[in-house]
Every structure is written in C-alpha cells, then in structure tokens.
C-alpha cells in the first residue's frame, strides 16, 4: 500500500466567489487564498495571498474571474491589529456569490435573510443558556490561521478503495468540523456537480486544545481521469460549522460563509498519482 502525505494550508476561501467564507467587523472579506488581479497583458491571474477585499468586488459569471477590489493587503506576519480582527459569518443572501450549486438539495430555494454574526455568537438553533455554549471568546484572524493539518492518502491493495487519515492541531477548540471533498466536476463552469462529504458521517469535534483526528474510507475515489464518468476526488477542505450542526450527505445549508467556513485546504488539485477502480 503506497501512502503519500500532504500538508494542509490555512485558508478562509472555498471558491473564488464569495472571495472568502468570513467577514471582518466592517463587512469586508478577509481573504487568505487565491486573489485574482490584472496581469500586465490584460488578463486576470490568481496568486495565493492575503488581503482585505471589498464586498462590492465585481462579480463575473461562474467559471470566470474578475480582479477583486483589494482594500489592503495583509502581510504574512500580521500586525497586532490584523491578528486581533474578529471573524464573522457572511450575511445571507451571500454577497459576491456566483456558485450555481445548491449545497443541500432539500434546502429551501431561498433562505430567509440573515445578518453577519461574530463567529463566537452565532444564534445556534434551539440553544438555551443552561445548555453550556462552549465558544465564548471572539475568534480572531490569528487564531484561525494557527490551524495546521496533515493528510495521509493511500489506496487499498486491491485498488478499489482510498483511505484518508487526518491529524489536526491549532483548530478552534471544542468545535464541530467536517471534511468536504472537491471532485473534478464540482467547479466545472458548464455543469458543476454538488460537492459532498469525504465520508459519512464526515464530522469531528476538536478537544480543548484544538486537536483532532479524522479518517475516511471511500469507494473508488480516484478513477482514471480518461474515463467519461471520472468525477474523481481532487481536493479536500476542512470546514468549521458556525451553527454547530452537520447535514448528513450535504456539506452545508446556507452556502460557503453562511454556515460553513473553510479553514484548511490543499490549494491546488492533487491526488493525480492515485488510481482506483470499481
């Protein structure tokens, strides 16, 4: 059995639009991820970076890119003020969103409007004071970017299954997380498929230090890309759930930034070296 290890990268981004899955207090996107910008030849090129991005950034058609309206860049070494920025959910309807896929097929076509909430004070459904809400301190940008993760991927000896083993530290303590699989067609501009869980259930809960492990075993996750139905796994995203609930075979209900927030990922498509079969 061949195993390969991948280091996961801290992020706030699931898709190019919305540019981030978290807001700051002023209603700007806090982006740690791919940032589209104008190139000298007039094209649009994306580089991995950090920036405060305006919610009024131009919104192109799904599958296309427009330069973000960058309010200011965020340095690799955050200032004390940037490190202390308090993270918020995105309001619903999501701003600057062009993803045409409904994440939860049985969700209402249009969720009722919701404001942006600080991540530590989201109105969790049915929560009562006596129930013991564990996330009481503001979640800052520095705390978010302290996350670290390692992923070991292997294929069974018979070539029919793939195993994914994760180790995490530095995540938000005492929190519900899930792991999502990106497949090859999920971001296809012509006919995107619905992103799904990496295993079901795909949940894990961090301990008081923000550490956790997760394991999934999937049938035929890496079919030959030359096959016509090869919607293979090409990436993973670790999602923090602001409403502290999961959705079975769906990855979220309110969309990226509404109730699920990307914290770790592999920035580029991966797993090319693996092949599985039915």
pLDDT at 187: 96
pLDDT of 136 over the 70 cut: yes
The answer to whether 47 and 35 are in contact (CB under 8 A) is yes
**pLDDT digit string (tens) for 72-115?**
999 999 999 999 999 999 999 999 999 999 999 886 566 789 99
Mean of the per-residue pLDDT values of the chain:
96
pLDDT band at 268 (very low <50, low <70, confident <90, very high): confident
The answer to whether 70 and 34 are in contact (CB under 8 A) is no
* Averaged pLDDT, 191-220: 98
* Averaged pLDDT, 41-49: 95
pLDDT of 168 over the 70 cut: yes
pLDDT at 105: 85
In the three-class reduction of DSSP (H, G, I as helix; E, B as strand; rest coil), residue 121 is classed as helix
pLDDT at 109: 63
Of 221, 214, 198, 220, nearest to 151 by C-alpha is: 214
* Averaged pLDDT, 39-68: 96
What distances in angstroms separate CA 98 from CA 147, 185, 207, 233, 266, one per listed residue?
Answer: 28, 16, 35, 22, 22
pLDDT at 203: 98
pLDDT band at 222 (very low <50, low <70, confident <90, very high): very high
CA dist 43 and 64 (Å) reads: 11
The reported pTM is 0.97
pLDDT at 108: 59
* Averaged pLDDT, 220-239: 96
CB atoms within 10 A of CB 10: 19
Q: CB-side exposure of 56: number of CA atoms within 13 Å?
A: 2
pLDDT band at 241 (very low <50, low <70, confident <90, very high): very high
pLDDT of 258 over the 80 cut: yes
């Amino acid at each position: 059995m061949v195993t390969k290890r991948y280091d996961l990268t801290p992020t706030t981004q699931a898709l190019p639009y919305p540019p981030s899955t978290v807001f700051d207090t002023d209603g700007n996107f806090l982006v740690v991820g791919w940032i589209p910008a104008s190139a000298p030849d007039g094209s649009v090129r994306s580089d991995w970076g950090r920036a405060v991005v305006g919610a009024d950034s131009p919104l192109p058609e799904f599958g296309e890119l427009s330069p973000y309206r960058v309010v200011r860049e965020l340095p690799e070494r955050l200032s004390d003020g940037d490190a202390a920025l308090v993270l918020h959910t995105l309001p619903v309807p999501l701003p600057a969103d062009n993803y045409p896929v409904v994440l939860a097929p049985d969700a209402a076509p249009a969720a009722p409007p919701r404001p942006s909430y600080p991540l530590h004070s989201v109105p969790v459904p049915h929560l009562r004071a006596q129930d013991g809400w564990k996330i009481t301190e503001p979640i800052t940008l520095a705390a978010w970017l302290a996350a670290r993760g390692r992923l070991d991927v292997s294929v069974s000896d018979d070539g029919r299954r793939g195993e994914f083993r994760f180790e995490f530290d530095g995540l938000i303590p005492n929190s519900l997380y899930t792991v999502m699989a990106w497949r090859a067609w999920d971001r296809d501009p012509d006919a995107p498929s619905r992103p799904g869980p990496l295993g079901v259930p795909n949940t894990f809960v961090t301990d008081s230090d923000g550490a956790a492990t997760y394991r999934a075993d999937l049938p035929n996750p890496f079919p030959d890309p030359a096959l016509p139905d090869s919607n293979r796994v090409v990436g993973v995203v670790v999602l923090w759930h602001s409403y502290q609930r999961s959705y079975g075979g769906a990855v979220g209900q309110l969309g990226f930034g509404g109730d699920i927030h990307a914290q770790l990922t592999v920035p580029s498509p991966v797993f090319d070296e693996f092949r599985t079969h039915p």
